[in-house]
A and B are shown apart, each in its own frame.
Chain A
Amino acid sequence: MSEKKTFKTAALMKELMKKYYEDGLSARKSGIPVAWVTAVSPVEIVYAAGLFPYYPENFGAIAAARKIADKLSVVAESKGYAHDLCAYARCGIGDAYASEHPVGEIIKPDLLLCCNTQCGSLPKWFEVAGRFYKAPYFLLDAPQIGAEPENLVTNYYLEQLKELISFLEEVTGKPFDYDRFGEVLYYSNEACRLWNEVLDTAAQKPAPFGFFDACFHMFPIVTMRGTKEAVVYYQALKDEVEERIIKENYAVPNERYKIYFDHIPLWPKLRWFSDLFASHGALMAVSLYTHSWAYFFDRNRPLESLAEQYTQEFVNRFFDYRIELKLRLMRKYNVDGFVLFSNRSCKPNAIGLYDKRNIISSMAGIPGVVFEADMSDLRFFSEEQVLAKLEPFFEQLESRGKK
């Protein structure tokens, strides 16, 4: 397999990440409270309120990518936190109690803001952390919805956004700055637009960019959505991807198939997976996961718009509508097969995948496979078992390709 050149923007990413952590560490000293937030939560409000938003999930992903999730987890397990909890939570709690911090220490919160659209693990983890760090905890509760948006749910969320703003005003002692909020929304919209334009290039055949690249480049869209830096970053990335198209520098050099992937990648095995799929000429092209950050906020009705977008995220939908969303992406990217990851860390996304595989296969008429592992923790990963699932899938792709 030919080694493809790494993205130039990777260097920019390193700088961004470094600066983000430095800012986080020095925030408190300069009187800026650190707010723990969750990936699918209205961080725009936190930025507008002048707080530093910190994503402990991201800490979990970094620990996973550096292959030490199990070490942090063991510390949490020694307290009685079970190894079947979400690994991000186990890493976060483990780090709180650990005496060694091989990936640096988690940044301690002054307050915790959790939105439960994603899962039930985050609110429980944040409750634990709130007690541990003795910091106030605010839950943005999002009842799950089906295909149709529900006023009941949007209004509930909207009312909570207002409660959140009052809560932040109390914490900061400053009135909420709506002008600044408008500016943040503008940057958020721009970053989302650019990010999705980059993602969409994976639909070209062959494609300059795929899911594994997206996993590498998603840090700013998750954590810095709403800042100017994120916009600058994705503009640079987009330019580079376009340049790659011209230079015919493709993600998988001899791309033969496109694959849909659900959901979070196996962080410690990113490289292994990407090489494995590339060796079969298969581009992991798309996932609902990386497409989560596709917001467009109406700046004339900012709070309403926030309430709509965040409650209507795929993570907050019922079973059937999630299938529909997956099918839409599969069609849009014209994929040849799909791989569903039964991630024991992430119950809300794993539960139902066995049935979804059968339903999607019969609806889309393409092969699909489910495999078992944990996104972070290698104790639950068996190369043989995963290959035993994937090899027949590759064969199916081959035999269909020949037809």
Chain B
Amino acid sequence: MNTGLNIEVLEYFNKVTEDPGQEARLWKEETGGKVIGFLLTDVPEELIHAAGFFPFGISGGKRRMSLADAHLQIWTCSYVRSNLAMALGGELDFLDGLVIPQRCDETRMVMGIWKHQKPLSFMDNFRPPRQVERPSAKNYYLGELRRFKKKLEEFRGSEITDEELKQSIRLYNSNRTLLEKLFDLHRQDPSLLSSRELYNIIMASMIISRKKLNRLLNRLLDTLNPKLPEETDCRVKIFISGTFLEPLEIADYIEESGGTIVGDDLKSGSRYFNGNVPEEGDFLEGFAERQMQKMPSASFDTSTNPRRHFLVNAVKEKNADGVLLLHLKYCEPENFDYYDTKQALKKAGIPVQKIDTEFGETSLGQLRTRVQAFMEMLGGVELI
């Protein structure tokens, strides 16, 4: 049941995502500190945080996409297009820095344009390895982390101490653990927290002060008491795979057809908070470990746990009834995975449906129809 207390917290999170820059701007005014934006995901944010900066996850916009037209062809991915459009439209003027992790051709190439159009005092192409199984990958990643750390230190004018790093890792681990818990509770009893509320919180967690986030998540978790399994209503369980849950309305369409989201491998989802960094030992080693063991994605696939097998297993583990592949149009890495993923799921007897999505003005009606059709096939019921 929703109590007054958790409604207040949920509304707070809604306010945060309605105007994504607001928390960062306030923080900046209050502290005089610097805000560093980053594209999702696979950025060792703890380092940014430990240096005293405000890490701000840039999650794409919806308005005025045409601002990007003079710089990016319309057939480039709309996540990157919309981010650049936001920057050009002045929506990200509070940023002092930008980190773009290289995961695909878009993220490899857009920095140059951004630099010329909206130069910031700190700009970095962060380059995680794109093979994660051979020993060379880890050695290289450690070097890349050292480089990145040093650049942050130069920007702030002093070294990041081990103590600072430890504190940040602790805070981030705590946030990640709380988000996992929240997801667990949602899975256990979907009536506690809707799928949309859950993903809204995940989005908010990237753009809010991480200390505040910790307090809010704790408060929320305290008030959520799941019903006993036999009392929860029966819903169709959906696993979503892709890059972004965009637009968030997709979660509504799943729920209004009697479904709930039980797992994902999204950048704007589990990939963000999946896995912790050890709080003892060599911290950079810890980051490397986390990265190497993260769930596979189109940009970091492995042969030992290839994405399609990972998905089949995840579906079984989460007891999901079907998989919705959210394909962000023009996302090459995702598109290359699609056919074999679909075949692997089908072979395992798991119903699967691909839906094309896009940042910007999407036709919600069409999206809704497609989600509903899949839900109906899975035996969902219309709730309204």
Query: Is B109 touching A348 in the complex (CB atoms < 8 A)?
Result: yes
- The answer to whether residues A124 and B298 also contact, given A80-B339, A81-B335, A351-B105 and a CB cut-off of 8 A, is yes
8 Å CB contact of B144 from A84, A124, A152, A348: A152
- The answer to whether residues A82 and B134 also contact, given A144-B108, A351-B110 and a CB cut-off of 8 A, is no
How far is it, in angstroms, between the C-alpha of A127 and the C-alpha of B332 when the chains are bound? Answer: 13
Query: Is B332 touching A85 in the complex (CB atoms < 8 A)?
Result: yes
Q: Return the CB mask of B95-131 against A: 1 if under 8 Å, else 0.
A: 0000000111110111111011100000001010111
Chain B interface (Cβ < 8 Å from any Cβ of A): 70-73, 75-76, 102-106, 108-113, 115-117, 125, 127, 129-131, 134-137, 139-140, 143-144, 147, 298-299, 301, 303, 329-330, 332-333, 335-340, 342, 354
How far is it, in angstroms, between the C-alpha of A141 and the C-alpha of B137 when the chains are bound? Answer: 9
8 Å CB contact of A354 from B71, B147, B340: B71
Q: Return the CB mask of A117-158 against B: 1 if under 8 Å, else 0.
A: 001110111011001000001010101100000001001100
Query: Is A80 touching B342 in the complex (CB atoms < 8 A)?
Result: yes
A170 interface hit (Cβ, 8 Å): no
* Cβ–Cβ < 8 Å partners of A137 in chain B: 303
Query: Is A139 touching B336 in the complex (CB atoms < 8 A)?
Result: no
* A55: min CB distance to chain B, Å: 19
* Cβ–Cβ < 8 Å partners of B137 in chain A: 141
Name the CB-closest residue of B to A114. B131
Query: Is A351 touching B109 in the complex (CB atoms < 8 A)?
Result: yes
Name the CB-closest residue of B to A342. B73
- A sample of 19 inter-chain contacts (CB < 8 A) reads A81-B335, A85-B336, A89-B336, A121-B105, A124-B337, A144-B102, A144-B108, A152-B144, A155-B140, A159-B136, A163-B136, A318-B111, A318-B125, A347-B76, A347-B332, A348-B105, A352-B109, A352-B110, A355-B117
Name the CB-closest residue of B to A160. B136
- The answer to whether residues A318 and B335 also contact, given A121-B105, A351-B106 and a CB cut-off of 8 A, is no
Query: Is B127 touching A144 in the complex (CB atoms < 8 A)?
Result: yes
Name the CB-closest residue of B to A372. B73
8 Å CB contact of B139 from A156, A348, A354: A156
Known pairs A80-B335, A347-B106. 19 more at Cβ < 8 A?
A: A80-B354, A81-B339, A85-B332, A85-B336, A120-B103, A120-B333, A124-B337, A125-B336, A139-B131, A143-B127, A159-B135, A318-B111, A347-B105, A351-B76, A352-B112, A352-B113, A355-B113, A359-B116, A372-B73
Query: Is B143 touching A355 in the complex (CB atoms < 8 A)?
Result: no
- The answer to whether residues A124 and B131 also contact, given A79-B339, A344-B73 and a CB cut-off of 8 A, is no
Q: Return the CB mask of A148-189 against B: 1 if under 8 Å, else 0.
A: 000010011001100100000000000000000000000000
Name the CB-closest residue of B to A380. B75
Name the CB-closest residue of B to A151. B143
A395 interface hit (Cβ, 8 Å): no
How far is it, in angstroms, between the C-alpha of A354 and the C-alpha of B68 when the chains are bound? Answer: 11
On chain A, the number of residues with a Cβ less than 8 Å from chain B's Cβ atoms is 44
Query: Is A85 touching B143 in the complex (CB atoms < 8 A)?
Result: no
8 Å CB contact of B108 from A141, A160, A348: A348
- The answer to whether residues A159 and B339 also contact, given A120-B105, A121-B332 and a CB cut-off of 8 A, is no
How far is it, in angstroms, between the C-alpha of A354 and the C-alpha of B117 when the chains are bound? Answer: 12
Name the CB-closest residue of B to A76. B339
How far is it, in angstroms, between the C-alpha of A89 and the C-alpha of B337 when the chains are bound? Answer: 13
Name the CB-closest residue of B to A322. B112
Query: Is B342 touching A120 in the complex (CB atoms < 8 A)?
Result: no
Name the CB-closest residue of A to B144. A152
A223 interface hit (Cβ, 8 Å): no
Query: Is A124 touching B333 in the complex (CB atoms < 8 A)?
Result: yes
How far is it, in angstroms, between the C-alpha of A81 and the C-alpha of B103 when the chains are bound? Answer: 19
Name the CB-closest residue of B to A156. B140
Query: Is A120 touching B75 in the complex (CB atoms < 8 A)?
Result: no
Query: Is B144 touching A143 in the complex (CB atoms < 8 A)?
Result: yes
* Cβ–Cβ < 8 Å partners of A123 in chain B: 130
* B328: min CB distance to chain A, Å: 11
* Cβ–Cβ < 8 Å partners of B129 in chain A: 141, 143, 156
* Cβ–Cβ < 8 Å partners of A366 in chain B: none
3 shortest interchain CB distances as A-B pairs: A319-B112, A124-B336, A156-B140
Query: Is B73 touching A350 in the complex (CB atoms < 8 A)?
Result: yes
* Cβ–Cβ < 8 Å partners of A155 in chain B: 140, 143
- The answer to whether residues A354 and B131 also contact, given A81-B336, A124-B298, A320-B112 and a CB cut-off of 8 A, is no
Name the CB-closest residue of B to A345. B75
* A73: min CB distance to chain B, Å: 13
How far is it, in angstroms, between the C-alpha of A123 and the C-alpha of B332 when the chains are bound? Answer: 11
* Cβ–Cβ < 8 Å partners of B336 in chain A: 81, 85, 89, 121, 124-125, 127-128
Name the CB-closest residue of A to B301. A127
How far is it, in angstroms, between the C-alpha of A350 and the C-alpha of B337 when the chains are bound? Answer: 23
* Cβ–Cβ < 8 Å partners of A159 in chain B: 135-136, 139-140
Q: Return the CB mask of A353-393 against B: 1 if under 8 Å, else 0.
A: 01100010000000000001000000000000000000000
Query: Is B147 touching A152 in the complex (CB atoms < 8 A)?
Result: yes
* A119: min CB distance to chain B, Å: 6
* A311: min CB distance to chain B, Å: 12
A116 interface hit (Cβ, 8 Å): yes
* Cβ–Cβ < 8 Å partners of A131 in chain B: 340
* A45: min CB distance to chain B, Å: 15
Contacting B at CB under 8 A, from A35-80, are 79-80
How far is it, in angstroms, between the C-alpha of A238 and the C-alpha of B187 when the chains are bound? Answer: 70
* Cβ–Cβ < 8 Å partners of B332 in chain A: 84-86, 120-121, 124, 347
Query: Is A156 touching B136 in the complex (CB atoms < 8 A)?
Result: yes
Query: Is A163 touching B134 in the complex (CB atoms < 8 A)?
Result: yes
Query: Is A160 touching B134 in the complex (CB atoms < 8 A)?
Result: yes
How far is it, in angstroms, between the C-alpha of A303 and the C-alpha of B330 when the chains are bound? Answer: 37
Q: Quick one: which of B137, B301, B333, B336 has the most chain A CB within 10 A?
A: B336
* A347: min CB distance to chain B, Å: 4
How far is it, in angstroms, between the C-alpha of A372 and the C-alpha of B298 when the chains are bound? Answer: 28
* B227: min CB distance to chain A, Å: 40
Query: Is A152 touching B125 in the complex (CB atoms < 8 A)?
Result: no
* Cβ–Cβ < 8 Å partners of A119 in chain B: 105
- The answer to whether residues A355 and B71 also contact, given A139-B131, A318-B125 and a CB cut-off of 8 A, is yes
